[in-house]
Structures are given as C-alpha cells and as structure tokens.
Structure 1
Amino acid sequence: MMWRALSADWLKIRGKGLWFLVFLGPAGLLAMQGLNFGLRYDYLKNIHQADLWGGLLDNLSNFVPVALYLGGTLICSMMANVEHQTSSWKQLLALPVSRAAVFLAKLLLCLLLLAASCLLLSAGTVALGWMLGFQSQPVPYTDILRIGFLGYAAALPVILLQLWLSLAARNQTFPIACGITLSLLSLFSYSLSEWFPLNWPGLAWSSSKPWLFSISGIFLGLLVLLPGAWHFARKDVA
C-alpha cells in the first residue's frame, strides 16, 4: 500500500517547485564557495596547499547543516501543502490505504528528495574542485560523500519533526517559522554540548568520531517518527 501512495505522491509533486528546490540548495552552496575561492584564490590556495580538497570541504561544511535544515523544512512544507491547499485529505484518507502508509510514503519521498540534493552537492563539489584547478591532488571521494550524507543522517530528527508539524498544521506558518528558527540556532549552538542535536550535522563532519553523531541522528529520528506517525494516524486532518 505504501508504494501505491508513494507513486501517487510522486505524480502530485510535478510542477510544484520541489525539484527546483532540490537543485537550488546545492547550487547555492557551491556558488557561494566558487565565489569565495574565486575572489581569494591565491590566498586560500596558499593556506590549503597541502590539502586543497580538504580546504574546500572545510569551507563548505560550515554551511551544510543550515542548508539541510532549511531544505528539509521547505521540502516537508511544500509536500504537505499539496494536500492542504487542495483540501484533499478527506478523499486521500478515504482510499483503501492506511494512514500509516500515507505518512510513510510522504516521509520516504521527502527523504529521497533530500538524498538527491546531497548527491548533487557531492557531484557539484567534484566539479567545482576541478574548475578551481585541484586536479594535481587526488579527489577524496569518500570525504566528499561524507560531507553531505553523514550530515544528512545527523539532521534526521529535525527533518522528521518538520514533516510531523507540516502534515499536522493546515497553516504552514508555524512549521516554516520553527524550521527557520532551528536553522538559525544551529549557527550559534557550537558553544553548547556536542550532544545538543542541532550540532550533530556539523560534528558528523568535524568530529573525530563522525559516525557516532550520524547514528545518533538516525536513532533520535526514529524516536521522533513514532509519535509523529501515531499522531497523524489519529488526528482529523481532513
């Protein structure tokens, strides 16, 4: 049943701007770093001459958590708004598909869209490094994949919370405001404990044990998922 619901949701997002958002996040991050290195090329290349790719990734990593939080917020909100704006919840939930399947289908589609965005970020990082003339050093493909996907796993608690809020609220003002607030707080939370969840995407790159924070994000995400699915299954969202 979930796959039928997922197929229906896949068709619904056509022309809704979600794919544009998937491309916009990584394109914005890469354009910012392209401008950063373009304007200070000699200076940055001299600083990072021992590890040019590492310097690029370190500069990029400062903005990946915010992009994940904002991207997750907007994708979840736009996904939920497909049903809210057309008032189609009653018709959707009248179909012979369980509410749990509907919830999981929307969750899976949101996660797939964000995963596509992370993959585009990794591919674009390789392309940017080549454009900047880093071919003299080997491409650290593992680190390039890690910068997006480990942070993605660590950001799952916030992403799942945003999906819960977006599906539960017909007016998307509160979910979006909540997501923007959490995104901004993540910029100033490094002085707090490393076990503060907003820090986990950044620590999934910079920590000596990055996998610990990614696994913690997955575990906490599951804890957020359970009450979210339970609430959706019982709430009147028609």
Structure 2
Amino acid sequence: MVWRALSADWLKIRGRGLWFLVFLGPLGLVAMQGLNFGLRYDYLTKQYSADLWGGLLSNLSDFVPVALYLGGTLVCSLIANIEHQTSSWKQLLALPISRTSVFMAKLLLCLLLVAFSCLLLSAGAVGLGLALGFKRELIPYADVFRIGLLSYLAALPVIVLQLWLSLSFRNQTFPVALGLTLSLTSLFAMFLAEWIPLSWPYLVWGTPHHVLYSSGGLLLGLLVLLPGIVHFARKDVE
C-alpha cells in the first residue's frame, strides 16, 4: 500500500516546483563556493595547499546544515500543501489505504527528494574541485560521502518533524517559520552542545565522531516518526 501511495504522490509533484528546489540548494552551494574560490583562488589554494580537497569541503560544510534544514522544510511543506490546497484529505483518506501508509508514502517522497539533493551536492563538490584544477587521484571519496549523505542522516529528526507539522497544519506559516528559525540557528551550531540534535549535521563534519552523530540522527528520526504516525492516524481531517 505504501508503494501505491508513493507512486500517486510522485505523480502529484509534477509541475509543483519541487524539482527546481531540489536542484537549487546543492547547485547554489556549489556555485557560491565556486565564486569564493574563483575570486580568491591564489589565497585559498595557498591556505589549503596541504589539502585542497579538504579545504573545499570544509568551506562547503559550513552551509550544509542550513541547506538541509531549509530545503527539508520547504520540500515537506510543498508536498503537504498539495492536499491542503486542493482540500482532498477526505477523499484521499476515504480510499482503501491506511493512514499510516499515506504518512509513510509522503515521508519516503520527502526523504528521496532530499537524499537526491544531497547526492547532487556531493557530485557537485567533486565537479567543482576538478574544475578548479584539484588532482583527480586525491579525491577524498569518504569525505565527499560524509558531507552529503551522513549530514543528511544527522538531519533526519528535523525533516521528519517538519513533515509531521506540515501535514498537521493546513496553514503552513508555523511549520515554515519553525524550519526557517532552525535553519538560521544551525549557523551557530558550533556553539551548541553536542547533545542538541540541531548541531549534529555540523558535527558530522566538524568532529571525528561522524558515525555517532549520523547514527543518532537516524535513531532519533525513527523516534520522532512514531508519535507523528500515531497523531496523523487519529487526527480529524477537513
């Protein structure tokens, strides 16, 4: 049932601007660092001469949490708004499919779109490094993977929470405002305590314990998912 609902949701996002958003985030970050290195090439290559790839990824990593939280918020809101704007919740939930399947299908769609965006960021980082003349044989594939997908896993609690809120509120002002606030707060993640989940995407890159924080994000995301499903299954719809 989940896959049938996911197939239907996949068709619904056509023409909604979601794919533009999925591409905009990673390409925007890569373009920003391309401009940064392009304008200060001599200075930055001298500064990071010992590890050019590491310097590029380090500059990208500062903005990855912001992009993840803001992008995840907007993707969740746009997907939920498809049903809110057309007032089709009653028709959808009247179909012979469980509410849990409906929730999981929308969550999987959100996660797939954000995951694709993260993969595009990793690929874009490699492409930018090659365009800047960095050596192909020195590409740190583990770090490229870490800046994209492990940061994504660490951000799962917020993404799941955002979908829960977006599906619960017909007016998207509160979910989007919360997501924007969390995104801006993540800019100061280095000043937050390590046990605060908001800092985990940053700590995936900023500390050697990246597996710990990505695993913690995955586990906490599952814990947030449970009350979200229960609430959605019991919630009255308009």
Shared fold (TM-score, shorter chain, > 0.5): yes
Q: 3-state SS of the aligned residue for 1:195?
A: coil
User: The residue matched to 2:227 in structure 1 has which SS?
Assistant: helix
Which residue number in structure 2 is paired with residue 177 of structure 1? 177
Where does residue 95 of structure 1 map in the other structure? Answer: 95
Question: What is the Cα deviation at residue 137 of structure 1?
Answer: 5.2
Alpha-carbon distance in structure 1 between the residues aligned to 2:58 and 2:191: 19
Report the TM-score, using the length of structure 1 for normalisation: 0.98
How far apart, CA to CA, are the structure 1 residues paired with 2:88 and 2:214?
Answer: 36
- CA deviations on 1:67-96 (whole Å, 9 max, x unpaired) are 000000000000000000000101000000
**Residue 217 (structure 1) shift:** 0.5
Q: Which structure 2 residues correspond to residues 53-92 of structure 1 after superposition, within 5 A?
A: 53-92=53-92
Could you report, residue by residue, the CA deviation over 1:81-129 in whole angstroms, capped at 9, with x for unpaired residues? 0000000101000000000000000000000000100111111111100
- Looking at structure 2, the residues matched to 136 and 81 of structure 1 have their Cα atoms a distance apart, in angstroms, of 43
How many residues of Structure 1 are paired with residues of Structure 2 in the alignment? 238
* Counterpart contact for 1:73–1:162, Cα < 8 Å: yes
Deviation at 1:234, TM superposition (A): 0.5
Q: How far has the Cα of 1:192 moved from its partner?
A: 2.5
Q: 1:188, CA displacement in angstroms?
A: 1.9
Gaps of 5+ in 2: none
- CA RMSD in angstroms comes to 0.9
Q: Which amino acid aligns with 1:113?
A: L
Q: Gapped runs of 5+ residues in structure 1?
A: none
Q: 1:3-46 deviations in whole A, cap 9, x for unaligned?
A: 11000000000000000000000011001100100110000000
Partner of 1:207: 207
Name 2:52's counterpart in structure 1.
Answer: 52
* 2: CA distance, partners of 1:226 / 1:209: 27
Judge conservation of contact 2:130–2:136 (CA < 8 Å) in 1.
Answer: no
Runs of 4+ in 1 over 2 A off after TM superposition: none
Q: Once the 2 structures are TM-superposed, how far is the Cα of residue 187 of structure 1 from its aligned partner?
A: 1.3
Question: Which amino acid in the other structure matches residue 176 of structure 1?
Answer: V
The equivalent of 1:126 in structure 2 is 126
In the alignment, the residues of structure 1 paired with residue 52 and residue 96 of structure 2 have an alpha-carbon distance, to the nearest angstrom, of: 55
